[in-house]
Amino acid sequence: MSKPSFNLTDIALSYKNSKQSFRKKKATARAKRQRQASKAKIKRLEDRVEYWRNKHEEEKSKNKSALGGTKIKYHSYCSTIITLALILYTETSMSLRDIETVIRIFIQQMQIESKCPDHSTFDYWIKKTGMKAIKPFSPGEPCVLIYDESISFNGKKLFLVLAVPVSVSKQKRALRFEDCHLVYLGAKKGWSAEIIHKELNPIVKKMNVQYVLSDKGSNLLRDTALLGLAHVADITHEVARTLKNLYSDTDGYKNFIKWIGELRKDLACGEYAHLAPPKIKHHCRFHQLGQYLKWIQKVVPELKKVAKEGSGAAMALLKITDHKCFIKDLKSLTPVIKEILSVGRTEGINPATILKLTAKMTELEGDLPVKFGEKLSRYFNETYKTIGENIPFCCSAIIESVFGKYKSKMSSHPQKMCTNHLLTIPLFFVKENEIAELISGFETVKVADIRDKEVMQKVMNGVQMAA
């Protein structure tokens, strides 16, 4: 039996291999531990990064929410953009395209993550808000109705009825849009007393109306009688009508107006164009008679210069002395008329204001100005006796302001003034703090509702049924 042989070389090689294997395993284990430690460290770092990322997103979301507001249901834009657009439209004379430019700049500068709406989108927002803004008036609250019809727009006339709570008179100031409540708005070819009565009678029956304030249009007076309500004539129209009755047929007024018209044409171009008289429409002359006095006061200091250096058409300014009698009446009437209108708009008609204005009218000088004072005194006393108590409102200028504002908004497309663009008018009477509430109800208004040709009539019928 042979003995096993030992090869030292093989033993050494085996030892070397085993040693390398051990070192390799040890290095592998160390590398594994390092990888595990690195992964644990990365995990810890990831958790911290995620924490700060979430916090950053939360702060970003808060800032975004504060700037952009919440999105309206079924709409792509946030409440802040919609509110800003509506305020710009109602409180400024900006067009829809101007508002689009401002909103685009606002979005860019405030870094709001939103695209800019188109001007046609603003138009839909305005009409939607107008539909939501028409609400029934509180039936038990004492109020005064103010109504009037407009001039013809595209063959139709607008008829507007506002209710003003009597409690507003405590503020002792002229009426503002936010003081009024839209009761009725319609457009027809004509507004006879019977048509007005048919439309207003269901509304008035459910309201506590003290009296009606309007001008002395025959259809308005007759409708007031049909409704069984007391009527107060608008003080602005009463002043203008009294002036017209006294002066329209006098030679002094006719010659003055003729001279003014010729002078305006002659001075339209030239060195003295800045001294041209004001342009006042024929039917507004007696409403704005004070504008002529302002112009006269501007021209008189320049007469010496005109006489010394002027020539041609400018010399016609020197003929102002030919109208000194009418100008004297203007100087006497203007401050009294200003006081009458100011007191009437802010304080109404009551024993205290009648006494105050009667004392003011004693300052009038001249035959016609004195007659004017007598007629206005009669108007105050007869109006007070008719109502039998204090009259908080006697000026319906707010109606003319509404028509004027609407006309300026629609000046670019007057042919559409009696269409669904009428929904713009209710927005005039909305307060800024009420816009958010109206916007929240946008999801209930569809574009198809706005495009309906009879949308205004349907909306007003809804108000009548809900009142």
Does residue 404 fall inside a structural domain?
yes
- pLDDT for position 116: 85
Assess whether 246 and 342 both reside in one domain. Answer: yes
Assess whether 383 and 287 both reside in one domain. Answer: yes
Assess whether 332 and 355 both reside in one domain. Answer: yes
- pLDDT for position 417: 77
Around Cβ 409, how many Cβ atoms within 10 Å?
A: 21
Largest CA distance in the chain: 166
Assess whether 195 and 154 both reside in one domain. Answer: yes
**Coil, helix or strand at residue 382:** helix
- pLDDT for position 394: 92
Assess whether 255 and 383 both reside in one domain. Answer: yes
Residue 42 has phi, psi (to 5 degrees) of: -60, -40
The position carrying tokens 């003995």 is 3
- pLDDT for position 331: 92
- pLDDT for position 10: 64
Assess whether 255 and 370 both reside in one domain. Answer: yes
CA proximity to 375, closest of 257, 235, 231? 235
CA proximity to 239, closest of 286, 275, 192? 286
| Sequence-distant contacts of 410-418: CB under 8 A, at least 24 apart | 412/95, 414/153, 414/154, 415/154, 416/154, 417/153, 417/154, 417/158, 418/153, 418/154, 418/156, 418/158, 418/187
Q: What is the CATH number of the domain that holds 186?
A: 3.30.420.10
Assess whether 368 and 327 both reside in one domain. Answer: yes
Q: Which two tokens stand for residue 127?
A: 């009409």
**Coil, helix or strand at residue 408:** helix
Radius of gyration of the chain measured on its C-alpha atoms? 39
Around Cβ 166, how many Cβ atoms within 10 Å?
A: 15
Element (H, E) at 168: none
Does residue 94 fall inside a structural domain?
no
Does residue 61 fall inside a structural domain?
no
Q: What is the dihedral of CA 365, 368, 373, 378, to 10 degrees?
A: 150
Does residue 157 fall inside a structural domain?
yes
Assess whether 271 and 375 both reside in one domain. Answer: yes
Q: Which two tokens stand for residue 242?
A: 């009294």
Assess whether 282 and 324 both reside in one domain. Answer: yes
Does residue 136 fall inside a structural domain?
no
Listing from the earlier edge strand, what are the strands of the sheet with 181-188? 181-188, 156-165, 142-153, 208-214, 231-233
Does residue 350 fall inside a structural domain?
yes
Does residue 189 fall inside a structural domain?
yes
- pLDDT for position 309: 80
The position carrying tokens 């924490």 is 51
CA proximity to 185, closest of 371, 464, 456? 456
Chunk the chain into consecutive blocks of 10 residues (it has 467) and report each block's average pLDDT, rounded to whole numbers. 56 65 76 80 73 66 53 74 86 87 86 81 85 82 92 85 91 89 88 92 90 92 93 93 93 92 83 84 85 89 82 82 91 93 92 92 92 93 90 91 88 77 86 77 72 67 43
Assess whether 176 and 273 both reside in one domain. Answer: no
Task: Give the range of the structural domain holding residue 279, as residue numbers without chain letter.
Answer: 240-387
The domain total for the chain is 2
HSE-CB of 125 using CA atoms within 13 angstroms? 31
Residue 187, Cα to own-chain centre: how many angstroms?
20
Assess whether 328 and 410 both reside in one domain. Answer: no
Does residue 55 fall inside a structural domain?
no
Q: Which two tokens stand for residue 135?
A: 């609400």
Q: Which two tokens stand for residue 234?
A: 């608008």
Assess whether 253 and 376 both reside in one domain. Answer: yes
Q: How far apart are CA 199 and CA 203, in angstroms?
A: 8
